[in-house]
Amino acid sequence: MEEKPVEKNMGWSDQAIVKTTSKYAKPVSKVSIDKQKSKYKHQLGKKLTQTLLPLIAGVIMIMLWEWQVFHSLFNLQTYQLPLPSTIVEAMIDNRAILLSYAGYTMSEAVLGMLFGSVLGFGFALTATAWPKWGKGGLVLIASLNAVPIVALAPIMNLWFGDGMGSRIAIVTIMTMAAMAINAHKGMSVVDPLALDLMHSYAAKKHEVFRYLRVANSLPFVFTALKINTTASMIGAIVGEFFFSSKGLGYMLSNSIKVAKMPLGWSCIVVAAIAGVVFYLVVERMEKIFLKWHSSQRI
Protein backbone atom coordinates (compact mmCIF):
# COMPACT_ATOMS: atom_id res chain seq x y z
CA MET A 1 0.00 0.00 0.00
CA GLU A 2 1.44 3.36 -0.98
CA GLU A 3 2.03 5.74 1.90
CA LYS A 4 0.86 9.33 1.62
CA PRO A 5 3.09 12.21 2.63
CA VAL A 6 2.53 13.61 6.09
CA GLU A 7 1.45 16.95 4.60
CA LYS A 8 -1.30 15.25 2.62
CA ASN A 9 -2.47 13.31 5.68
CA MET A 10 -2.64 16.45 7.77
CA GLY A 11 -4.44 18.38 5.06
CA TRP A 12 -1.63 20.84 4.44
CA SER A 13 -0.82 22.30 1.05
CA ASP A 14 2.03 24.25 -0.47
CA GLN A 15 -0.41 26.84 -1.66
CA ALA A 16 -1.63 27.52 1.85
CA ILE A 17 1.95 27.92 3.06
CA VAL A 18 2.76 30.37 0.27
CA LYS A 19 -0.34 32.41 0.99
CA THR A 20 0.40 32.49 4.69
CA THR A 21 3.99 33.58 4.07
CA SER A 22 3.03 36.27 1.60
CA LYS A 23 0.31 37.49 3.94
CA TYR A 24 2.83 38.37 6.63
CA ALA A 25 5.80 39.30 4.40
CA LYS A 26 4.12 42.08 2.40
CA PRO A 27 3.24 44.40 5.31
CA VAL A 28 6.84 44.16 6.63
CA SER A 29 8.36 45.15 3.30
CA LYS A 30 5.85 47.98 2.93
CA VAL A 31 6.77 49.38 6.34
CA SER A 32 10.49 49.31 5.50
CA ILE A 33 9.85 51.06 2.18
CA ASP A 34 7.78 53.73 3.94
CA LYS A 35 10.58 54.23 6.45
CA GLN A 36 13.13 54.62 3.68
CA LYS A 37 10.92 57.11 1.88
CA SER A 38 10.37 59.17 5.03
CA LYS A 39 14.11 59.10 5.80
CA TYR A 40 14.94 60.20 2.25
CA LYS A 41 12.38 63.03 2.43
CA HIS A 42 13.79 64.13 5.79
CA GLN A 43 17.36 64.20 4.45
CA LEU A 44 16.27 66.01 1.29
CA GLY A 45 14.36 68.60 3.31
CA LYS A 46 17.34 69.09 5.60
CA LYS A 47 19.71 69.63 2.66
CA LEU A 48 17.30 72.06 1.00
CA THR A 49 16.96 74.00 4.25
CA GLN A 50 20.73 74.15 4.71
CA THR A 51 21.19 75.40 1.14
CA LEU A 52 18.19 77.68 0.65
CA LEU A 53 18.32 79.62 3.92
CA PRO A 54 21.86 80.99 3.39
CA LEU A 55 21.05 81.75 -0.25
CA ILE A 56 17.90 83.67 0.67
CA ALA A 57 19.77 85.58 3.39
CA GLY A 58 22.56 86.43 0.93
CA VAL A 59 20.14 87.64 -1.74
CA ILE A 60 18.30 89.84 0.77
CA MET A 61 21.60 91.35 1.98
CA ILE A 62 22.76 92.09 -1.57
CA MET A 63 19.41 93.70 -2.43
CA LEU A 64 19.57 95.93 0.66
CA TRP A 65 23.15 96.81 -0.26
CA GLU A 66 22.20 97.66 -3.85
CA TRP A 67 19.28 99.82 -2.63
CA GLN A 68 21.78 101.73 -0.43
CA VAL A 69 20.05 100.79 2.81
CA PHE A 70 23.42 100.20 4.51
CA HIS A 71 24.67 103.54 3.20
CA SER A 72 21.76 105.28 4.91
CA LEU A 73 22.17 103.34 8.16
CA PHE A 74 25.93 103.94 8.51
CA ASN A 75 26.10 107.30 6.71
CA LEU A 76 28.36 106.00 3.93
CA GLN A 77 28.97 107.25 0.41
CA THR A 78 29.13 105.04 -2.66
CA TYR A 79 32.85 105.71 -3.08
CA GLN A 80 33.37 104.33 0.45
CA LEU A 81 31.14 101.29 -0.03
CA PRO A 82 30.66 100.56 -3.76
CA LEU A 83 27.38 99.07 -4.91
CA PRO A 84 27.28 95.37 -5.87
CA SER A 85 26.53 96.29 -9.49
CA THR A 86 29.73 98.38 -9.77
CA ILE A 87 31.75 95.61 -8.10
CA VAL A 88 30.45 93.03 -10.60
CA GLU A 89 31.22 95.44 -13.44
CA ALA A 90 34.82 95.82 -12.15
CA MET A 91 35.14 92.05 -11.87
CA ILE A 92 34.01 91.57 -15.49
CA ASP A 93 36.36 94.28 -16.78
CA ASN A 94 39.38 92.86 -14.91
CA ARG A 95 38.48 89.16 -14.95
CA ALA A 96 41.71 88.01 -16.62
CA ILE A 97 44.07 89.65 -14.15
CA LEU A 98 41.83 88.73 -11.20
CA LEU A 99 41.92 85.05 -12.15
CA SER A 100 45.67 85.17 -12.66
CA TYR A 101 46.31 86.84 -9.31
CA ALA A 102 43.82 84.54 -7.55
CA GLY A 103 45.75 81.52 -8.83
CA TYR A 104 49.01 83.04 -7.56
CA THR A 105 47.57 83.73 -4.10
CA MET A 106 45.94 80.29 -3.92
CA SER A 107 49.29 78.67 -4.77
CA GLU A 108 50.90 80.47 -1.83
CA ALA A 109 48.04 79.52 0.48
CA VAL A 110 47.91 75.84 -0.53
CA LEU A 111 51.68 75.28 -0.44
CA GLY A 112 52.05 77.11 2.86
CA MET A 113 49.15 75.18 4.40
CA LEU A 114 50.61 71.85 3.25
CA PHE A 115 54.04 72.63 4.70
CA GLY A 116 52.58 73.99 7.94
CA SER A 117 50.17 71.08 8.36
CA VAL A 118 52.90 68.48 7.75
CA LEU A 119 55.25 70.19 10.22
CA GLY A 120 52.45 70.56 12.78
CA PHE A 121 51.52 66.89 12.45
CA GLY A 122 55.18 65.94 12.89
CA PHE A 123 55.38 68.00 16.08
CA ALA A 124 52.18 66.31 17.31
CA LEU A 125 53.68 62.86 16.69
CA THR A 126 56.83 63.85 18.56
CA ALA A 127 54.88 65.33 21.47
CA THR A 128 52.80 62.15 21.76
CA ALA A 129 55.79 59.80 21.54
CA TRP A 130 57.91 61.80 24.02
CA PRO A 131 55.41 63.72 26.17
CA LYS A 132 57.96 64.95 28.75
CA TRP A 133 59.45 67.57 26.45
CA GLY A 134 57.01 67.37 23.54
CA LYS A 135 54.31 69.44 25.24
CA GLY A 136 56.84 72.22 25.70
CA GLY A 137 57.35 72.18 21.94
CA LEU A 138 53.60 72.62 21.42
CA VAL A 139 53.65 75.68 23.66
CA LEU A 140 56.50 77.11 21.57
CA ILE A 141 54.53 76.54 18.34
CA ALA A 142 51.46 78.19 19.86
CA SER A 143 53.61 81.21 20.81
CA LEU A 144 54.84 81.47 17.20
CA ASN A 145 51.22 81.54 16.04
CA ALA A 146 50.61 84.53 18.33
CA VAL A 147 53.18 86.66 16.46
CA PRO A 148 51.32 89.20 14.25
CA ILE A 149 51.63 88.90 10.48
CA VAL A 150 52.77 92.52 10.38
CA ALA A 151 55.87 91.49 12.35
CA LEU A 152 56.40 88.23 10.44
CA ALA A 153 56.21 89.72 6.94
CA PRO A 154 59.43 91.85 7.06
CA ILE A 155 61.40 88.98 8.68
CA MET A 156 60.23 86.41 6.12
CA ASN A 157 60.92 88.85 3.30
CA LEU A 158 64.47 89.34 4.62
CA TRP A 159 65.03 85.57 4.84
CA PHE A 160 63.30 84.36 1.67
CA GLY A 161 63.25 87.42 -0.59
CA ASP A 162 60.23 89.23 -2.02
CA GLY A 163 59.04 86.25 -4.09
CA MET A 164 56.47 83.59 -3.32
CA GLY A 165 58.72 81.96 -0.71
CA SER A 166 58.18 84.66 1.92
CA ARG A 167 54.37 84.32 1.80
CA ILE A 168 54.61 80.53 1.88
CA ALA A 169 56.78 80.86 5.00
CA ILE A 170 54.22 83.18 6.63
CA VAL A 171 51.37 80.76 5.91
CA THR A 172 53.47 77.82 7.14
CA ILE A 173 54.03 79.48 10.52
CA MET A 174 50.35 80.48 10.76
CA THR A 175 49.05 76.96 10.11
CA MET A 176 51.44 74.88 12.21
CA ALA A 177 49.82 75.54 15.59
CA ALA A 178 46.26 74.51 14.68
CA MET A 179 47.46 71.21 13.20
CA ALA A 180 49.90 70.43 16.02
CA ILE A 181 47.40 71.06 18.83
CA ASN A 182 44.46 69.30 17.15
CA ALA A 183 46.48 66.27 16.02
CA HIS A 184 48.10 65.92 19.46
CA LYS A 185 44.65 66.00 21.04
CA GLY A 186 43.42 63.26 18.69
CA MET A 187 46.42 61.05 19.44
CA SER A 188 46.07 61.53 23.19
CA VAL A 189 42.34 60.89 23.70
CA VAL A 190 42.29 57.27 22.55
CA ASP A 191 39.84 54.76 24.00
CA PRO A 192 41.53 52.97 26.96
CA LEU A 193 39.81 49.71 26.02
CA ALA A 194 41.23 49.93 22.49
CA LEU A 195 44.66 50.63 23.93
CA ASP A 196 44.39 47.62 26.25
CA LEU A 197 43.32 45.50 23.29
CA MET A 198 46.39 46.54 21.31
CA HIS A 199 48.61 45.73 24.29
CA SER A 200 46.94 42.35 24.70
CA TYR A 201 47.89 41.56 21.10
CA ALA A 202 51.50 42.48 21.97
CA ALA A 203 51.41 45.35 19.49
CA LYS A 204 54.62 47.33 19.20
CA LYS A 205 54.78 51.07 19.83
CA HIS A 206 54.84 51.99 16.15
CA GLU A 207 51.87 49.68 15.49
CA VAL A 208 49.86 51.35 18.26
CA PHE A 209 50.69 54.71 16.68
CA ARG A 210 49.76 53.61 13.18
CA TYR A 211 46.58 51.65 13.81
CA LEU A 212 45.19 53.42 16.88
CA ARG A 213 46.59 56.86 17.63
CA VAL A 214 46.99 58.13 14.05
CA ALA A 215 43.61 56.70 13.00
CA ASN A 216 41.96 58.29 16.04
CA SER A 217 43.53 61.66 15.21
CA LEU A 218 42.18 61.86 11.63
CA PRO A 219 38.91 63.68 12.51
CA PHE A 220 40.98 66.22 14.49
CA VAL A 221 43.41 66.55 11.57
CA PHE A 222 40.62 67.44 9.14
CA THR A 223 39.23 69.93 11.65
CA ALA A 224 42.65 71.61 11.70
CA LEU A 225 42.81 71.54 7.89
CA LYS A 226 39.45 73.31 7.65
CA ILE A 227 40.68 75.96 10.09
CA ASN A 228 43.88 76.33 8.08
CA THR A 229 42.06 76.92 4.79
CA THR A 230 40.89 80.34 5.98
CA ALA A 231 44.08 81.10 7.95
CA SER A 232 46.23 80.36 4.90
CA MET A 233 44.25 82.73 2.67
CA ILE A 234 44.51 85.48 5.29
CA GLY A 235 48.26 84.93 5.66
CA ALA A 236 48.90 84.94 1.92
CA ILE A 237 46.83 88.07 1.22
CA VAL A 238 48.16 90.09 4.17
CA GLY A 239 51.72 89.02 3.30
CA GLU A 240 51.22 90.38 -0.23
CA PHE A 241 50.24 93.74 1.23
CA PHE A 242 53.83 94.41 2.30
CA PHE A 243 56.22 92.81 -0.20
CA SER A 244 54.82 91.54 -3.48
CA SER A 245 54.47 92.40 -7.14
CA LYS A 246 51.59 90.02 -7.80
CA GLY A 247 48.54 88.51 -6.10
CA LEU A 248 45.16 89.57 -4.74
CA GLY A 249 46.71 91.29 -1.70
CA TYR A 250 49.01 93.32 -3.93
CA MET A 251 46.12 94.40 -6.18
CA LEU A 252 43.91 95.18 -3.19
CA SER A 253 46.62 97.35 -1.62
CA ASN A 254 47.23 99.28 -4.85
CA SER A 255 43.49 99.73 -5.48
CA ILE A 256 42.99 101.29 -2.06
CA LYS A 257 45.98 103.61 -2.58
CA VAL A 258 44.57 104.99 -5.83
CA ALA A 259 40.96 104.99 -4.55
CA LYS A 260 39.70 102.35 -7.00
CA MET A 261 37.31 100.90 -4.47
CA PRO A 262 35.20 98.75 -6.86
CA LEU A 263 38.40 96.97 -7.98
CA GLY A 264 39.48 96.58 -4.36
CA TRP A 265 36.14 95.03 -3.46
CA SER A 266 36.46 92.75 -6.50
CA CYS A 267 39.68 91.39 -4.97
CA ILE A 268 37.84 90.81 -1.68
CA VAL A 269 34.99 88.96 -3.43
CA VAL A 270 37.37 86.77 -5.46
CA ALA A 271 39.41 85.98 -2.33
CA ALA A 272 36.23 85.03 -0.47
CA ILE A 273 35.12 82.74 -3.31
CA ALA A 274 38.57 81.13 -3.45
CA GLY A 275 38.50 80.57 0.32
CA VAL A 276 35.07 78.95 0.18
CA VAL A 277 36.14 76.66 -2.67
CA PHE A 278 39.29 75.72 -0.74
CA TYR A 279 37.19 74.91 2.34
CA LEU A 280 34.69 72.82 0.35
CA VAL A 281 37.51 70.79 -1.22
CA VAL A 282 38.89 69.92 2.22
CA GLU A 283 35.38 69.12 3.48
CA ARG A 284 34.83 66.79 0.51
CA MET A 285 38.14 65.06 1.22
CA GLU A 286 37.02 64.57 4.83
CA LYS A 287 33.85 62.82 3.67
CA ILE A 288 35.86 60.54 1.38
CA PHE A 289 38.56 59.55 3.88
CA LEU A 290 36.38 59.41 7.00
CA LYS A 291 33.43 57.37 5.78
CA TRP A 292 33.97 55.03 8.73
CA HIS A 293 33.63 57.78 11.35
CA SER A 294 30.36 58.34 13.19
CA SER A 295 30.30 62.05 12.30
CA GLN A 296 29.87 61.15 8.61
CA ARG A 297 26.81 58.97 9.25
CA ILE A 298 24.59 61.77 10.55
At 123-165, the pLDDT tens digits run 998 888 888 777 788 888 888 888 888 888 888 888 888 788 8
Closest Cα partner for 175 from 208, 135, 144, 129? 144
116 close to 176: Cβ distance less than 8 angstroms: yes
- How many other β-carbons are positioned within 10 Å of the β-carbon of residue 194? 15
d(CA 244, CA 160): 12
The top-level CATH class assigned to 84-297 is: mainly alpha
Distance linking the first and last C-alpha atoms of the chain: 67
Q: Note the pLDDT tens digit of each residue in 94-119.
A: 999 999 999 999 999 999 999 999 99
Are 246 and 103 within 8 A, CB to CB?
Answer: no
237-278 pLDDT tens trace: 998 988 788 899 999 999 988 889 999 999 999 999 999 999
Closest residue by Cα to residue 120 from 195, 207, 182 = 182
Burial class of 72 by CB neighbour count within 10 A (0 to 12, 13 to 18, 19+)? exposed
**Would the pLDDT of 175 be above 90?**
yes
C-alpha pair distances (Å), 125 with each of 41, 66, 102, 122, 201: 44, 51, 34, 5, 23
Q: pTM of this prediction?
A: 0.78
Q: Of all helices (H) and strands (E), which one includes residue 138?
A: helix 131-145
Work out the angle at residue 150's Cα, subtended by the Cα atoms of residues 80 and 96, and round it to the nearest 5 degrees: 55
CA–CA distance from 241 to each of 43, 101, 169 (Å)?
A: 44, 13, 15
Please, are residues 234 and 113 in contact by the beta-carbon 8 Å criterion? no
The three-class DSSP label of residue 175 is: helix
